[in-house]
Structure 1
Amino acid sequence: MRIALLFLMLTLSSFAQGQTRIYKVVDANGNITFTDKPPISTQEKSSAVELNQINISAPPPERARNTSIDNSKPEANIDYDITITSPPDSTTIPMGPGNFSLSASVSPALEYGDKLQLILNGEPYGRPQSTSTWGLTNVLRGAHDLSIQAVSDSGKVLSQSRPVRVYVLRPSKLYRN
């Protein structure tokens, strides 16, 4: 009941600017009604409702919108110095499953959002990461060129290390006697 009354009052107050009087009418059962016409019945109690003046002001002027504004963070083109520290160039990975570790040094430290991407034989290996160590597994036998790229969060290549070549020895077949 109170919600309906509040709704009615708000609705009527929005129209009150053009109206001269609003009446609150209470019938014999205690039901309250608001109206813009004075009650005809003498059994109903009525009183005029005084509404405050509605504050009407002009809206602020419309600003011209510039659609060419780019709110994205500008990319800093930092020239990172990236060096593969392990394994050294021309290293031979001994017989086994083709697993080895790779580590690098980066100077200066990576900015927020920039990551390192390992490149194996010209193709990305794994996902870009913020750490400078990788564990490679099950690398096929043969010569492999490794390099590291510093990439921005949008994927732009910022810097790249000099490549390092490793040779992986793996048996091609298992022979049983």
Structure 2
Amino acid sequence: MPLFIYLFFFGLFSASVYASDTTIYKTIDAQGNVHFSDKANENNKPIEIKINNVFAVPNKSEVNTSQHIIEKKSFEKQKTKIIAYQANINYPRNDMALRSNNGELKVQVKISPNMLSTQKLQLYIDGVKVGKAQHTTTITQQSVGRGTHLLQVYLIDKDKQILHKSPVIRMHLLRANVKR
């Protein structure tokens, strides 16, 4: 059995070497059709085929490592640092009742890590954007109607992209009601 395997692989290897050394002949017939053959005759011409199926792996000393280091450094410069911000409404607390007869609401927000100068906070009451985005962590909103409201704050960047949304809290605004 081992002799058979040896002969099989020897024949396979020999055939591939023979095939790579075979001369190919080209013939053009009377109608202009091109034919290729491995047999010579008086009308065909041999063509040269360069077989480049072997390559050498360069040594480590031949590889331009300085170019690789430059490319790696320029790639590292392009990486941007992604910061995971957290925004939480500290005041009012969830489900808190506030008395404000004039409808003024003050919201205090805790941002971690601290906001950059290009970032702002935008207050949403009942899912609707109210007021302008602000740099401060204390947001005051006037003329808020009495009743239960849902509050949320968005941390946005200079391009108005949302960096983080605070959890939604529920608060109850109490206002005096004068009967006439």
TM range (shorter): 0.5 to 0.7
- Is the 1:77–1:158 Cα contact (8 Å) retained in structure 2? no
Gaps of 5+ in 1: 1-73
Could you tell me which residue of structure 2 aligns to residue 89 of structure 1?
Answer: 94
Give the Å deviation of 1:77. Answer: 4.9
Q: Which of 140, 145, 166 lines up with 1:140 in the alignment?
A: 145
Q: Which amino acid aligns with 2:120?
A: K
SS of structure 1 residue aligned to 2:139? strand
Cα distance change on mapping 1:76 and 1:122 into 2, 3 Å: farther
- Counterparts of 2:80 and 2:103 in 1: how far apart (Å)? 38
- Counterparts of 1:97 and 1:113 in 2: how far apart (Å)? 32
Show the 5 A alignment for 1:2-21: none
- Is the 1:84–1:148 Cα contact (8 Å) retained in structure 2? yes
Q: How many residue pairs get matched?
A: 102
- Give the percent of matched residue pairs that are identical in Structure 1 and Structure 2: 26
SS of structure 1 residue aligned to 2:150? strand
Could you tell me which residue of structure 2 aligns to residue 175 of structure 1?
Answer: 179
> What TM-score do the two structures reach when normalised by structure 2?
0.51
Give the Å deviation of 1:135. Answer: 1.5
Give the Å deviation of 1:161. Answer: 0.6
Q: Which amino acid aligns with 1:165?
A: R
Give the Å deviation of 1:146. Answer: 0.6
Gaps of 5+ in 2: 1-78
Show the 5 A alignment for 1:124-139: 124-139=129-144
1:151 counterpart = 2:156? yes
1:79 counterpart = 2:100? no
